[in-house]
Amino acid sequence: MGMAAEDIARMIKESFPDAEVRIEDLTGDGNHYAATVISEAFRGKSRVQQHQMVYDALKGNMGGVLHALALKTATP
C-alpha cells in the first residue's frame, strides 16, 4: 500500500508541467505525505478548485491508496 513520493510528483507534473512540486514524506512510511504545488494553472481558482485539480491529477489515488496528503497550493 501507499505510493512513492516520486510517483506522486510525476503524476502532478504530468497535469501541471509548469508546476514546482515539493513532496515531503511526513512519517517515512510511504503513507503520509505533505505536498506543495505551485502553478500558474491555479490563478483565479478557489482553494477548493485548486485542490480538486490536484486530486484529479492523482487519478483516484487520493482517498484510495493515498490516505494522507496534506496539500498546499499556490500561484507563483
Vertex 29: Cα angle to 23 and 32 (nearest 5): 50
C-alpha cell at 13: 507534473
Q: Is there a contact between 58 and 66 (Cβ–Cβ < 8 Å)? A: yes
- Applying the rule CB under 8 A, the residues between 48 and 67 that interact with other proteins are 48, 51-52, 55, 60, 62-64
Interaction of residue 70 with other proteins, rule CB under 8 A: yes
| Neighbouring C-beta atoms of residue 9, cutoff 10 Å | 17
Q: Taking the complex as a whole, how short is the minimal distance between the CB of residue 18 and other proteins, in angstroms?
A: 22
Contact status: 47 vs other proteins (CB under 8 A): yes
The contact set with other proteins (CB under 8 A) reads 47-48, 51-52, 55, 60, 62-64, 68, 70-72
